[in-house]
Structure formats: C-alpha cells, structure tokens
C-alpha cells in the first residue's frame, strides 16, 4: 500500500512528505495516521491544509479496496511545512467546475499525473438530497496546451460517436496561467490504485475496449487523422534520423546501435488502412468502478490514426507480463496470430521507446547516470537489438 500513497503525495505537493500508517488497536476499529514531515521549513498554509483534506478524502475512497473497511478513523498531524506546488491549483480547479456546473464543488481528489498534465476528479451537489455529479478536470501550464486540449476534445468527441467508453468534453479554457479541460466523470478510481490481482482483471477489460477502439477506421494517419501513410512513416523516420546526435551525445546509444535501430524501423510493415489508436492504453488512463465494472478510457492526448499494433506495443510497455497476457486475452488475440505479429510488435515497441527517449533528451541537459527513465529505455532497447 505504501508505494501507492507515496505516489499520491507526489501529486499533491512538491515539498511535503506525507506518510500513511494503518494501525489496528482492536479488531473492531482501524486507524489511519497521516503525518506531515518538515522538508523545507516554513508555516502551515491553507494550501497545506487543503492537501491533507484531499488525501484524507482519497483514503476514504481507496482503503476499502485494500480490505480496510467498515469502521476506521483518519487522524492527521500537521507540522511546519514549506511551500506547496500543485495544491495551489486545487482552488482554481474548484472554481472552474463551479462556474461551468453552477454548483459548489463538494470534493476534489487527484486521479493521476502525466508528464505535463494533472488529472483531477471532482464532485458537485446542489443539496444533500441530490445525487453527486462527477467531473474530470485536466490541467497544465504552458501556452501550447490550449491547442492540445482543443485537439483532445475533438478526439474525445470521435470516441463518443463510436460508442467507446470515454469522458464527454464540456469546456476548454484558461485561468491565469492554468489551462484546463473539463470532462464528464463518474464514481470510479484510477486502476493504478487497485491491488495486483484486480489490476490483471482490469487489463483484460482494457484489452476488450482496446479492440473496440482499434476496430474503428479513420480517414488518415497521424494525430490529425489527415496524413497519408507514406508521409506519416517518413515524418517519424526523419525526426529520429535528424536528431541522431541527441542519442549519441547523451551516451544513450552508440552509433552502431542507433544505425541498427533505424535499420529495424525501415523494415516495419504498416497496414494500408489506419485505425483509431488511443496511443497510451494503461492502468493510469483507466477509471473504473469495480462494483459495476463501469469503465472510462481517459487521456486521449496521444490518440492518432495508425496501425492497431501501436496500441498493442504501448500496452506491452505499460504493463507487467501477466497484465499484458490479460490484455491480449481481452483483446481477443490468440496463437498463431500473436506469433505472426511479434516481429512487427517489437519494431513498434522500439519506435515508441526511441520517441520517448528523444522527448526526454530534448527537455534539458540530462545526465544518463541519474535518469532511471532513460536507463530503463536504454536497457529495453538493447534487449531488442540483442535478440536480432
């Protein structure tokens, strides 16, 4: 349980260490202690208090999944805490949804955090007798996100027309430096918070919906569904070739390894007709209510027209072996079809990892020895090359 909550705390603040302990003083009641540890020093601000309130609310939702249900109490202890980061956006997220829904938000909790965006869950209610209304809010800072969120809105609308379970976009806008996209939601949790046994079951559900997504043809290739196959394939290849110095200068790959990678990519066999691809099928992008199995596939920012093998390869990179096996079962792939696809799937995986590495290398002056994400990609790329 600890890793899950450690990750949650990272969403909430940049300078607060929140620790969670579960104690059972007797068999009838369990106590959850949440303690704030002084990291930088300073005063306890209203934002810090908000962070604790959010965490406690989230614990009440998630603890029953881990068998901590029935009667339990949450005790919080605040110490001198320094400045907080993302928590300062919580109030603005509430104001955004309040303005759109004309209702007062009753609860806000973090669903997940990507490389650029934070995803929030939020509820509103006009009176205690009315049912809660659920929303998903995606926020990010940076001028490019206005156009990115507008594009994602179009992709969500496309998914909805095809009957794919996904949020319905409601609004895109900006408050000060915070860009946002508001979507419909429901009472569910991020699949990353579930125990491993449940995660494998969820991967099977993701596979089933992934198959439905990939069964939907689109008019063209790429994120705008408008490129020809030749242009899209050439564009991807030229991007990697043109940035080859980034891989070599950072000691990510030596020239011989990079040449071998580019040679493999040239052997990729694309289908003649693209299909809709989500672009990042994962537990983190799946909201699910385990009681009803209601599902929403969220975060369509990477969706594009491509081969269905793109989503298969990404799911493999985002999952453990047993999770991927469950995904393939849900998707409906069996031998010998899976065996025939394997060579192309490896090349797709290689392409995805090279693109991910390049994005990371372009961010700043990165040191390979201190970047676990890049080191992991480097290892996995070399494993593919060794098998050839």
Chain centroid to CA 82: how far? 28
* Residue pair 60/21 in contact by the 8 Å Cβ criterion: no
Choose among 91, 81, 45, 144: nearest CA to 152.
Answer: 144
| Domain at 191-386, CATH homologous superfamily | Aminoglycoside phosphotransferase (APH), C-terminal lobe (3.90.1200.10)
CATH classification of 2-84, choosing from 3.60.21, 3.30.300, 3.10.450, 2.30.230? 3.30.300
Predicted confidence at residue 73, as pLDDT, reads 47
Predicted confidence at residue 354, as pLDDT, reads 94
In 3-state terms, what secondary structure has residue 384? helix
The helix (H) or strand (E) run that includes residue 77 is strand 72-77
Domain range list for the chain: 2-84, 87-184, 191-386
Residues 170-200 have pLDDT tens digits of 999 998 888 999 999 887 888 887 888 889 9
* Residue pair 178/89 in contact by the 8 Å Cβ criterion: yes
pLDDT in tens, the chain (388 residues): 333 443 344 334 444 444 555 555 454 555 555 554 433 344 445 455 555 556 666 666 666 655 555 444 444 444 433 333 355 567 788 888 888 887 878 777 777 766 678 888 888 877 666 778 899 999 888 888 889 999 999 999 988 888 899 999 999 999 888 899 999 988 788 888 788 888 999 999 999 999 999 999 999 999 888 888 887 778 888 888 888 888 998 889 999 999 999 999 988 877 888 999 999 999 989 998 877 878 999 999 999 999 999 999 999 999 999 999 999 999 999 888 888 999 899 999 999 999 999 988 887 655 566 678 888 899 999 999 998 7
For residues 16 and 132, what is the distance between their CA atoms, to the nearest angstrom?
A: 31
Distances, alpha carbon 233 to alpha carbons 93, 207, 211, 219, 224, in Å:
39, 26, 23, 16, 14
| Cα pseudo-dihedral 298, 317, 257, 373, rounded to 10 | 70
* Residue pair 305/225 in contact by the 8 Å Cβ criterion: yes
Predicted confidence at residue 256, as pLDDT, reads 95
Cβ-based neighbour number of residue 365 at 10 Å: 6
For residues 139 and 181, what is the distance between their CA atoms, to the nearest angstrom?
A: 7
Cβ-based neighbour number of residue 105 at 10 Å: 21
Residues 296-312 have pLDDT tens digits of 999 999 999 999 999 99
For residues 104 and 307, what is the distance between their CA atoms, to the nearest angstrom?
A: 44
Alpha helices in the chain (DSSP H): 2-12, 46-62, 90-101, 145-161, 196-214, 229-242, 244-249, 255-265, 308-317, 321-331, 337-361, 372-386
Rg (CA), the chain: 22
CATH for the stretch 87-184: 3.30.200.20
Predicted confidence at residue 337, as pLDDT, reads 87
Check: pTM over 0.85? Answer yes or no.
no
Q: Reading across the β-sheet that carries 17-26, which strands appear in turn? A: 17-26, 29-37, 72-77
Predicted confidence at residue 190, as pLDDT, reads 83
Tokens describing residue 334:
């069996």
Distances, alpha carbon 116 to alpha carbons 142, 153, 183, 185, in Å:
9, 17, 18, 21
């Amino acid at each position: 349980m600890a890793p899950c909550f450690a990750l949650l705390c990272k969403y909430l603040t940049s300078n607060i260490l929140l620790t969670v302990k579960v104690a059972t003083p007797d068999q009838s009641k369990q106590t959850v202690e949440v303690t704030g540890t002084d990291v930088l020093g300073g005063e306890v601000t209203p934002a810090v208090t908000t962070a604790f309130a959010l965490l406690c609310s989230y614990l009440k939702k998630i603890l029953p999944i881990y068998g901590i249900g029935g009667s339990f109490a949450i005790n919080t202890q605040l110490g001198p805490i320094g400045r907080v980061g993302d928590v300062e956006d919580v109030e603005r997220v509430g104001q955004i949804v309040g303005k759109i829904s004309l209702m007062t938000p009753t609860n806000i909790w973090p669903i997940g955090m990507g490389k650029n965006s934070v995803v929030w869950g939020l509820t509103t209610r006009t009176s205690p007798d009315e049912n809660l209304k659920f929303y998903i809010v995606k926020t990010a800072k940076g001028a490019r996100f206005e156009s990115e969120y507008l594009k994602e809105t179009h992709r969500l609308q496309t998914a909805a027309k095809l009957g794919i379970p996904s949020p319905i976009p409601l609004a895109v806008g900006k408050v000060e430096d915070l860009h946002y996209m508001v979507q419909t939601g429901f009472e569910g949790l991020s699949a990353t918070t579930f125990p491993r046994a449940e995660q494998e079951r969820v991967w099977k559900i993701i596979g089933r919906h992934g198959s439905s997504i990939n069964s939907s043809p689109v008019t063209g290739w790429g994120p705008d569904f408008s490129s020809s196959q030749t242009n899209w394939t050439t564009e991807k290849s030229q991007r990697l070739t043109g940035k080859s110095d980034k891989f070599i200068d950072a000691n990510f790959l030596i020239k011989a390894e990079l040449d071998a990678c580019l040679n493999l990519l040239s052997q990729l066999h694309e289908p003649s007709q693209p299909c809709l691809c989500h672009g990042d099928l994962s537990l983190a992008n799946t909201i699910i209510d385990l009681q009803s199995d209601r599902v929403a596939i969220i975060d369509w920012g990477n969706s594009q027209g491509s081969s269905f093998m793109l989503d298969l390869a990404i799911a493999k990179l985002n999952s453990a072996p047993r999770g991927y096996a469950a995904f393939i079962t849900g998707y409906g792939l069996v031998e010998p079809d899976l065996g025939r696809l394997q060579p192309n799937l490896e090349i797709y995986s290689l392409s995805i990892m090279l693109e991910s590495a390049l994005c990371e290398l372009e961010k700043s002056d990165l040191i390979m020895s201190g970047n676990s994400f890049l080191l992991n990609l480097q290892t996995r790329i070399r494993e593919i090359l060794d098998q050839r």
